[in-house]
Amino acid sequence: MFDKLLVANRGEIAVRVMAACEELGIDTVAIYSEADRNNGHVEYADEAYNVGPAPASDSYLDQETIVETALEAGADAIHPGYGFLAENAEFASRIEETEELTWVGPPSDAMAQLGEKTRARQAMQAADVPVVPGTTEPVESAKEVREVGEEFGYPVAIKAEGGGGGRGMQIVHDSADVDDALETAQREGKAYFDNDSVYVEKYLAAPKHIEVQILADEHGNVRHLGERDCSLQRRHQKVIEEAPSPVLDEELRQEIGDAARRGVREADYTNAGTVEFLVEDGEFYFMEVNTRIQVEHTASEEVTGIDVVRWQIRVAAGEQLDFSQDNVEIEGHAIEFRINAENPADDFAPTPGTLETYDPPGSIGIRLDHAVNQGDEIGGDYDSMIAKLIVSADDRKQCIKRSKRALEHYDIEGVHTIIPFHRLMLTDEAFVTGSHTTKYLDEELAEEA
Ligand code: ADP
């Protein structure tokens, strides 16, 4: 096992990783930017190093400085968390090539393959996993886009090869709009992901977002921990996630889980990962693989009792998964609420400020992954999520009741948060019945406006 691990991240996920290290007896090293000097993850770590000014490009994304810091601190492993460098295959390969260090993540080759969406689609097809209908090669011309529109019908989505989070995705409803949309998708791909390559797939009308948590070791064992339903989205960004999905039956659950396992095997994947699918009319379609720990891994941990982050570290150290697929049991229900410092009454605009009051709820069934304290400054430099509230119960109905209690007792003053929005969702018929699709929230909010 490792002696000392550097977490190349900040906030709640950095603390989450360090908590796993603590239980494994591994010393922890934090890095921080000027803006995060007093951040909770700095306080939590055994040692902490300043890696540069507030802009992420000068600190949390500075590969050179992070590697130097790890070596200087005598760390023997690096965990990237999510965001920042977590899906950067070049960074992963750099760590792989540094003799003193181990990368706590998938092999850089698998990251590169699955990070490019058309290559990922090819791998899935090779593993007999259904993909969203569309091209498996990049497209360059409007003509190729129109061919997909004619074959599968409009709307179609033009997606950036390197894209994610709905960025670099253009939805085209009509053949007349293809030229402009293609140009925009290429431009956004270039700007966000330094890759102007795009491909086309059918844009499904009302799908569910269902994703499968995977763990794979270096000894050929691949397990799935069931699915999460992340269908409650605003502008393609997840807002509430839960496990298991309220709409999947046992047969489809097995099928999707098996497909996810086949898909990652095809890419010689190890460590934790998530295979994302869209599900519509009882059919499932591969969308993409996220080659990192995800924000919402907590929901799967709560219903399986399996510590995904600890396994990431153990697998990276060469250990073997000690449970079979049959040992994975989904028990009860868990819902994760992202506590974002945003104002739902003002189009979810971020609201930086001082946390005058921070008094989170407690008692049975409540888990908080956060790294903030009362009095903290919530800055505008990074994403607006300040905490995650994960509520567990025996079943979904009880989980919703418990979530109401938890959110009722979550007192935050000084910044706006989306807690009032979450409370509304808990009485929303579509959410309560589980019938909401990925389109639901945007349509609702558009109607209100
Ligand atoms: P991620 O955000 O996980 O990187 P994407 O950017 O590919 O993934 O997709 C984000 C969201 O956009 C999905 O969860 C879904 O709501 C929507 N989406 C993506 N592709 C399609 C599609 N072909 N049809 C319908 N919705 C889609």
d(CA 71, CA 95): 11
Closest CA to 271 of 115, 129, 107: 107
Res 165: pLDDT: 67
DSSP symbol at 100: T
Find the length of the chain.
Answer: 449
Cβ burial 163-201 (10 Å sphere, 16+ → b, else e): bbeebbbbebeeeebbeebbebbbebbeeebebbbbbbb
| Token reading at 250 | 């046992």
Between 210 and 449, the higher pLDDT residue:
210
What is the per-residue pLDDT across 388-406, written as a single tens digit (0 to 9) for each?
999 999 999 999 999 999 9
Q: Going by DSSP bridges, is the β-strand pair 198-202/102-103 parallel, antiparallel, or unpaired?
A: unpaired
Q: Cite the DSSP H helix spans in 215-365.
A: 250-266, 297-304, 308-316
What is the per-residue pLDDT across 242-275, written as a single tens digit (0 to 9) for each?
999 999 999 999 999 999 999 999 999 999 999 9
Percent of the chain with pLDDT over 70: 100
Res 193: pLDDT: 87
| Token reading at 273 | 């990962």
d(CA 348, CA 285): 30
Quick check: CB of 40 below 6 Å from ligand 1?
A: no
What is the per-residue pLDDT across 100-139, written as a single tens digit (0 to 9) for each?
999 999 999 999 999 999 999 999 999 999 999 999 999 9
Res 391: pLDDT: 99
φ, ψ for residue 208 (rounded to 5)? -100, 145
165 CA to middle of ligand 1, Å?
7
| Token reading at 277 | 């699918």
Q: Is the peptide bond prior to 361 cis by the omega test (within 30 degrees of 0)?
A: no
pLDDT at 148 over 70: yes
pLDDT at 449 over 80: no
166 CA to middle of ligand 1, Å?
6
Round the average pLDDT of the chain to a whole number and report it: 96
Q: What is the widest separation between alpha-carbon atoms in the chain? A: 61
77 CA to middle of ligand 1, Å?
32
What is the per-residue pLDDT across 57-92, written as a single tens digit (0 to 9) for each?
999 999 999 999 999 999 999 999 999 999 999 999
> Is 39:32 a contact under the CB 8 Å cutoff?
yes
367 CA to middle of ligand 1, Å?
28
Grade residue 180 by pLDDT with cuts at 50, 70 and 90.
very high
Please provide the distance, in angstroms rounded to a whole number, between the alpha carbons at the two ends of the chain.
54
Q: Cite the DSSP H helix spans in 178-274.
A: 178-193, 250-266
pLDDT at 305 over 90: yes
Average pLDDT over residues 371-388: 95
Average pLDDT over residues 321-325: 98
Pocket test for ligand 1, best of 229, 278, 289, 295 (most atoms within 8 A of CB): 278
Quick check: CB of 276 below 6 Å from ligand 1?
A: yes
Quick check: CB of 163 below 6 Å from ligand 1?
A: yes
Atom of ligand 1 nearest to the CA of 207: 25
Pocket test for ligand 1, best of 170, 201, 236, 241 (most atoms within 8 A of CB): 236
pLDDT at 167 over 90: no
